[in-house]
Structure 1
Amino acid sequence: MLKEFKAFIARGNVLDLAVAVIIGAAFGRIVTSLTDDIIMPLIGRVLGGLDFSSYFIVLGEVPANLVGSSDYAALKKAGVPLLGYGSFITVAVNFLIVAFIIFLLVRAVNRLMPKPDEKPAEPAAEPADIALLREIRDELRRRD
């Protein structure tokens, strides 16, 4: 069983998938940082100093020590039901960035792939032994 497992792991597809998952996770963190630390603050600045992470609607009772608080993280940690639409906007922008980059990657790969309407390469010349066997076959058919 261990031998089979080693053979399974050694196959290229499994290693490629493992590398893709690790790179994908790292890329996700980069995009999250890009969204949270660069893009959303710039959008907030352009729109008059808006901080999207602080946009939420309180849906339930707020504990006495947090009444009047606008700290989304503190309220959420306290278990207050919140509708965090500002956080949702940030995640949506994050998704759009990732989706656009994936689109660009797929588009680049598709341009590198041969188009279906392109003529395939000329087939290799038939080997001499195959040609001889075809001649023998044809000759035998004519005799029958």
Structure 2
Amino acid sequence: MARRSGGLFREFQEFALKGNVVDLAIAVIIGGAFGKIVESFTTDVIMPLINPLVSMAGKDWRTFAVGPGILVGKFLGTVLDFLIIAFVLFLAIRAINRFKRKEEVEAAAAPPDPNIVAQERLTDALDRLNTTMQSRG
């Protein structure tokens, strides 16, 4: 039983210390911090500008509710947070994809090395010569 748990622990340790898992953990932490920044941006910067348009009877947008407990204002703030985060991710992924396409085009457009082309031609010629000599001999 001790041998099994040691194997399980070792297996878990290998999994937890893989690069992808560590990268994912860092991304989750940064994402949480970014979410707080976006929430503050929405609450403290954008919504005060929109509040005069949205406010009803002198109420703040965050307290706008339909019936008891249905907080429409809070929900709209959360939707706005989501839209901002989704837009930023869209821009980031778009930039990454453009960079990848640019690298692919550069790699495809790079002319072949003349030395390599010459070596390939020489190798082909030697192969043909070898085949010819073997068929005659």
| C-alpha distance in 1 between matches for 2:65 and 2:129 | 83
Q: Judging changes above 3 Å, is the alpha-carbon distance between structure 1 residues 139 and 50 closer, same or farther for their aligned structure 2 residues?
A: farther
How large is the RMSD of aligned CA atoms in angstroms? 3.4
After superposition, the C-alpha distances for 1:3-60 in whole angstroms (9 at most, x for unaligned) are 33332233211111110011011111111111122211221135566521121121xx
The structure whose residues are more often helix, as a share, is 2
TM-score, reference length from structure 2: 0.66
Alignment pair present for 1:86 and 2:95: no
Relative contact order (alpha carbons < 8 A, sep ≥ 6): 1 or 2 greater?
1
Is there any run of 5+ residues in structure 2 with no aligned partner, and where?
A: 1-6
Match of 1:5 in 2: 12
Partner SS state of residue 44, structure 1:
helix
| C-alpha distance in 1 between matches for 2:21 and 2:104 | 33
Q: Residue 92 of structure 1 aligns to which amino acid in structure 2?
A: V
- Structure 1 runs of 4+ aligned residues shifted over 4 Å read 46-50, 131-138
Identity over aligned pairs, percent: 39
Q: Is the 8 A contact 1:44 1:50 kept in 2?
A: no
TM-score, reference length from structure 1: 0.63
Alignment pair present for 1:51 and 2:43: no
Alpha-carbon offset, residue 116 of structure 1: 8.8
Match of 1:143 in 2: 135
Match of 1:112 in 2: 99
Alpha-carbon offset, residue 117 of structure 1: 7.6
Q: Is the 8 A contact 1:57 1:83 kept in 2?
A: yes
Which has the larger displacement, 132-141 or 91-100?
A: 132-141
Is there any run of 5+ residues in structure 1 with no aligned partner, and where?
A: 59-80
